[in-house]
Structure 1
Amino acid sequence: MSGFTRHRRSGRVIATFSGLEADLLRSFASQLIELLRNEAAVSRKHEDPLEAMLSFDGPTTEPEDPVLARLFPTAYPGDVEAAGEFRRFTEGSLRDGKAAGAAAIIDSLEEAGLPPQLGPQRIVIDVELEPAEALVWLKSFTDLRLALATRLGIEQDDDDRWQALPGDDPRSPAYDVYQWVGYLQETLVDALG
């Protein structure tokens, strides 16, 4: 995988993935969608007809899962009521947007030829994205990296600690994936620039 580049004539953003790389991206995007959809939002009784029509019945408390708490941080840490109201009006649509972005990655990979089940054959997937599609991927890469960083416990400015991990540390492969998604994100930013 050489990262994303921009095609000079069409303006499309292009990347080539091995079947294993494409399947790994699909798997992480699928897991993100599952995480976004599985934590139930607490519904409230609608007292206002407009509220009922617009369905502002999202959750009012911070998600229990640390990844979701990182993806949907509290807007007003010092004001529980304002934070709950903000979350109620915004979190549902934000979850939908993040899930749609992850689904767009899956759709693009499968449209480019990634089979539903990756078999023993060696395949190469060429993905071509319009700039608007590439922006969706870029946002999803951010979500995927935040999820990986949260699960691994990666903190800002602790690169030396992670670089020093021995190869047999069980976190090492996950950290490599975190770095790889960061590389994809960086090349995508460059290609869009």
Structure 2
Amino acid sequence: MPGHFEPAPGGGATVALDEVEISILRSLAVQLMELIGPGDEPAEDADPLAALFAEGPSEAPSDPALARLFPDAYAGPGAGEESERDEELRTASSDFRRFTELDLRSRKRADAHRVVQALDSLTPSGEDEAVLKLTVEDCRCWLGALNDLRLTIGTRLDVADDDETLYRLPDDDPRKPMVMAYLWLGVLQETLVETLMP
């Protein structure tokens, strides 16, 4: 998949995508929204001030991909016997999570939703590519969603920084499509960052 971002005149970025690329990106963004979950949106008649101070979960998610998207704010307990400092860090992480995770989940969902909306606005015809134009604000949302997608896929594939075995998988390996998507998302993310640099 050769798609990559280029700077747009006047700011923002553009990328040419064919139907397959649009379908893959859309599917991944929808799956990301499903993984993150619907969240606890306040009722329409809810007090906006109370909603602002709503508390979220205090425990880290059990799903490794969600734990990667919503990590503890402070280092967890060390190996061996638990020290008093470890307990302090766990309590601080729990408090931080309780007051920030709902907002973070909402932002991540909104970023992925913005990706889906942008892709839904495209209409490639046949073998032609459609050109997606992003504003600077759109670019910020796309960067967040691309990063979240790569973290999620990387966690599912158990990608390590120094592990290159995944990059040389045979074509019949069932992980190959996800590895290809992971690498392509990396190209999109890297070229989008480059377009935004002065």
Q: TM-score range by the shorter chain?
A: 0.7 to 0.9
Whole-Å separation in 2 of the counterparts to 1:66 and 1:53? 28
1:2-60 C-alpha deviation (Å, 9 max, x unpaired):
4111133x32311000011011101000000011116x77xxxxxxxx99453432000
Please give the residue correspondences for 1:74-93 in structure 2 after superposition, counting only pairs within 5 Å: 74-76=72-74, 77=76, 78=86, 79-93=89-103
Q: Give the structure 2 partner of residue 6 of structure 1.
A: 7
Shift of 1:133: 1.0
Tell me if the contact between 2:12 and 2:196 (Cα under 8 Å) persists in the aligned partners: no
Tell me if the contact between 2:16 and 2:129 (Cα under 8 Å) persists in the aligned partners: yes
Residue from 151, 159, 163 that aligns with 2:156: 151
Residue-pair matches, total: 178
Q: Give the structure 2 partner of residue 62 of structure 1.
A: 60
Whole-Å separation in 1 of the counterparts to 2:49 and 2:58? 15
Paired residue type of 1:152? L
1:125-175 C-alpha deviation (Å, 9 max, x unpaired):
21001112112101111100000000111111112x112311111111110
Residue from 132, 136, 140 that aligns with 1:131: 136
Please give the residue correspondences for 1:42-53 in structure 2 after superposition, counting only pairs within 5 Å: 52=50
Q: Give the structure 2 partner of residue 46 of structure 1.
A: none
Whole-Å separation in 2 of the counterparts to 1:94 and 1:123? 37
Whole-Å separation in 2 of the counterparts to 1:30 and 1:123? 24
Whole-Å separation in 2 of the counterparts to 1:80 and 1:2? 43
Q: What do you get for the CA RMSD once the two structures are aligned?
A: 2.3
Relative distance call for 1:172 and 1:53 in structure 2 (3 A) is closer
Gaps (5+ residues) in structure 2? 41-47, 77-85
Relative distance call for 1:162 and 1:5 in structure 2 (3 A) is same
Identity between Structure 1 and Structure 2 (%): 38
Please give the residue correspondences for 1:150-169 in structure 2 after superposition, counting only pairs within 5 Å: 150-159=155-164, 161-169=165-173
Q: Give the structure 2 partner of residue 19 of structure 1.
A: 19
Paired residue type of 1:162? L
Shift of 1:192: 1.1
Say yes or no: does 1:179 pair with 2:149: no
Tell me if the contact between 1:108 and 1:127 (Cα under 8 Å) persists in the aligned partners: yes
Whole-Å separation in 1 of the counterparts to 2:151 and 2:143? 13
Gaps (5+ residues) in structure 1? 42-49, 115-119
Paired residue type of 1:20? V
Q: Give the structure 1 partner of residue 121 of structure 2.
A: 111
SS of equivalent to 2:37:
helix
Shift of 1:82: 1.5
Tell me if the contact between 1:109 and 1:125 (Cα under 8 Å) persists in the aligned partners: no
Say yes or no: does 1:95 pair with 2:105: yes
Normalised by the length of structure 2, the TM-score is 0.82
Relative distance call for 1:143 and 1:88 in structure 2 (3 A) is same
Paired residue type of 1:156? D
Shift of 1:124: 2.5
